[in-house]
Amino acid sequence: MRIILISLSLLISTFTFSQEDSIFLRKIYNEALTKGNAYEDLRSLCKDIGARVTGSAEAEMAVQWGKRKMESYGFDKVYLQEIQVPHWERGTTEAGWIRLTNGELIKVNLLALGGSIGTSGLMKGEVIGFNTLEELKNANKKEIEGKIVFINQHMDEQQIVTFRAYGGCYAIRGYGAIEAGHLGAKAVIIRSLGLPIDEHPHTGSMSYADSVSKIPAAALSTLDADKLANVLKNESAEFILEMDCRDYPDVTSYNVIGEMTGSEKPNNIITFGGHLDSWDTGEGAHDDGAGIAHTLEAMRILKELDYKPKNTLRLVFFMNEENGNRGGKGYAEWAKGQKHENHILALESDRGGFSPRGFHIDGTEEQLKILRSYSEIFRPYELHVFDKGFGGVDISPLKEQFEGIPLVGFVPDSQRYFDFHHAPSDVFENVNKRELELGCAAIASVLYLFDLAL
């Protein structure tokens, strides 16, 4: 055995690494950086398939693409897991204008939020602005009724980890339509959840409540949100928009699964992957084409280096993370209820293709100690984040089915992620080849280390 354990139990966390372990990690990195396929695979997913919103023709083609890719790399098993997924379409391109009191029209860039209803033609209304969702909640219904609500809540630029800034703002997108609809608004417009001031609006999932009438919901680009906010400081204004989005019945789709069978404990499953679907703007390059490329390449590298895992390594391309997580939920229920499997760890990459910084773990203190014990062997590769944190949306349902399973999230640098997240700018050209390859190597390496430890 190439890694010396004080105990094989997951509860014991003191490790020393052999020279052979360090050499194998170096081989992983060399393969990723000099012979890697990740960048070309990502190009193919983005350019040959395109944006992959759940229920679309592109999503169906992505399933076929994923299965063919896994088969081409010669994994031990490749198969599909059937699931039912929602089908929402944006329809014709959205249009929006601000109309000033003198009649001047200002064209704006906006996107319907995922799951929004349409406007049934051109919708017009006086716009009323709020700086935060809390301000809207505390507003008088008489101020709101029949108007279009604008929530101009900024992501907190003082947050160093930009996912915290996103988390602090998510509620305006997730629940803005509910709060505005409850007060009688006819539509809601939010400031896009992005840090740059640019013309690219950011879509994303939103919610309705059965007890509140549904209203159209859209996101303005940050540049246009600033324009509208400045207008409202000096005068009243009318907002005009048209959205043609609509829901359709659920459709059949699939999670794509590939395996390397464990040589010692084949019934122990280590799941890892990303989500195959994306929003229908851009090409889903960072979200989550990068995660697909990362994890596909990690499995390819381990196979290419003739690694024989102790436990079964299972690569999953999840479908429908963006607007329902049916793939993640269906996978967890299938693994426990139908397969009666023993799942010992899961890992996800869903934070973009930027330079790797480390890994987070959703687990016990003892499981965290195991992760932190890897810091020394990763030092030459400049990974330094080994902390408690979120694993990932797709793998989170496994926690409900397999008590005590640690969930690991890949952590790349976060500073540029929300430049592209859910925006038309999330395209292949905005992913750096070397940064993507370094992420692949980091994930392959940590899978190797966990497989030996568990």
**Tens of pLDDT along 407-428?**
999 999 999 999 999 999 999 9
Q: How many domains does the chain have?
A: 2
Point out the domain boundary residue: 180, 215, 244.
244
Residue 10's pLDDT is 41
322 shares a domain with 401: yes
Q: What is the CATH number of the domain that holds 423?
A: 3.40.630.10
291 shares a domain with 190: no
Residues 310-322: tens digit of each pLDDT: 999 999 999 999 9
Residues 270-312: tens digit of each pLDDT: 999 999 999 999 999 999 999 999 999 999 999 999 999 999 9
Amino acid letter, 275:
H
157 shares a domain with 44: no
403 shares a domain with 259: yes
Range of the domain at 406: 3-88+249-453
Q: What pTM was estimated for this model as a whole?
A: 0.95
C-beta of residue 94 within 8 angstroms of C-beta of residue 88: no
Residue 17's pLDDT is 82
Q: What is the CATH number of the domain that holds 206?
A: 3.50.30.30
The pLDDT confidence band at residue 1, using thresholds 50, 70 and 90, is very low
pLDDT of 231 strictly over 70: yes
179 shares a domain with 99: yes
279 shares a domain with 402: yes
Question: Left, alpha or beta for 352 (phi > 0: left; psi -120 to 50: alpha)?
Answer: left
Q: What angle do CA 358, 363, 366 make, to 5 degrees?
A: 90
Residue 223's pLDDT is 98
The pLDDT confidence band at residue 15, using thresholds 50, 70 and 90, is low
pLDDT of 94 strictly over 80: yes
371 shares a domain with 223: no
Residue 18's pLDDT is 87
Indicate which residues carry an active-site annotation.
321
129 shares a domain with 190: yes
Of all residues in the chain, what percent carry a pLDDT higher than 70?
96
Higher pLDDT, 11 or 103: 103
Q: How long, in residues, is the chain?
A: 454
